[in-house]
Amino acid sequence: MAALDLTSSSVALTRAICDIHSESGDETTLADAIEAAVSAHDHLDVVRDGDTIVARTALGRERRVVIAGHIDTVPINRNLPVEEREIEGEAYLWGRGTVDMKAGVAVQLKLAAELTEPGVDITWMWYDHEEVDSSLNGLGRLSRNRPDLFAGDFAILGEPSNGEVEGGCNGTLRALVRTDGVRAHSARSWIGENAIHKAAPILARLAEYRAREIEVEGLVYREGLNAVRITGGVAGNVIPDACEVEVNYRFAPSRDAASASRVVHDVFTGFEVEIVDIAEGARPGLDAELAKEFVEAVGATPKPKYGWTDVARFSALGIPAVNYGPGDPHLAHHDEERVPVAQIDAVERGLRAWLSGS
């Protein structure tokens, strides 16, 4: 079985974790290694649910913080094992998972082992299946199987944020906008009705749409409405009778699911619209006392999180949550995924200082 040395540096631990392949659905080897590593520490109570590992302190502190990170990655594409490279004098770890989000997990594992007397009780969560359909998400499964483990006053998700604090997150919605027509031979196209041609107004409305910027609790979230897929067509000599445009709407956390759905239906008035997936965002939660203390301790200026992250799961449970981890989110899933070594160290210092003194 692969072994993890939690006495090594966060940088060395990042390399070790990344080099244990854990594409979504194949996390067991890494989960086994994490479970074995944290179980060796008497100050942690360890629980396992599938390939999700939870380790908790039980020191009787007045406040509890939940700190989580996913252990799966998107598919590898000739970018493992991890390499150390230098760009303009700065050292980077280069390879799949370095950004999203094993550097953050490495920091969490090291601190979980070393912080035997933190100022707050801590629940550490390392979960599976984040990069795939939300119905498979290990954090979601854990919340159904063991909701008691989510008790906390504040949560931190180690999503890549360039070592800065990103509050809350946008919501996300997917919809299918459909047109229909009548099939005919393309040599006699006037006999039929071309469903793909009928989709032109859908694309025009998308092209004309202007993304809104909405302030929520002091942070400005940028929305977006975009076509992400078009399907239609029967054969090279047939006028198509059906077309679907898949649309993705990223909406500010001030909107709920019903409000976001109305926006999409209003934009595409006159067309058949089916909402096929929706996940509400998370408000920043930066007015919570622990959140204020955390932001001050790490010396950060909070920013909005434009993508959807699992902070929304904590927010739905009434737990204010932020994103805080090493790595540039623009490089998540990129074939040249890489994280600055200095950023890993900085996030470790920030978390360590706050958890030790909070």
H-helix or E-strand spanning residue 355 = helix 341-357
Instruction: For 274-292, give one letter per residue: b (16+ CB within 10 A) or e.
Output: ebeebbbbbbbbbebebbe
Beta pairing class for 238-239 and 184-185: antiparallel
Helices (H), 73-186: 103-114, 138-145
Please answer whether residues 246 and 174 qualify as being in contact, where contact means their C-beta atoms are separated by less than 8 angstroms.
yes
| The residue count for the chain | 358
Active site residue 117: no
Q: Tokens 């196209």: give the residue.
A: 189
Q: Is 105 helix (H, G, I), strand (E, B) or coil?
A: helix
Q: In this structure, what token pair is assigned to residue 358? A: 């909070």
Q: Which of 27, 49, 72, 328 is catalytic?
A: 72
Q: Of 324, 293, 288, 302, whose CA–CA distance to 152 is shortest? A: 288
Which residue among the candidates 35, 130, 131, 166 is catalytic per the annotation?
130
Element (H, E) at 69: strand 64-70
Contact between residue 201 and residue 269 where contact means Cβ atoms under 8 Å apart: no
Name the residue among 104, 114, 130 with its Cα closest to residue 38: 114
Active-site annotation holds for 217: no
C-alpha 17/C-alpha 26 separation (Å) is 14
The pair of three-digit structure tokens given for residue 141, joined into one six-digit string: 């499964």
Residues acting as catalytic residues: 72, 130
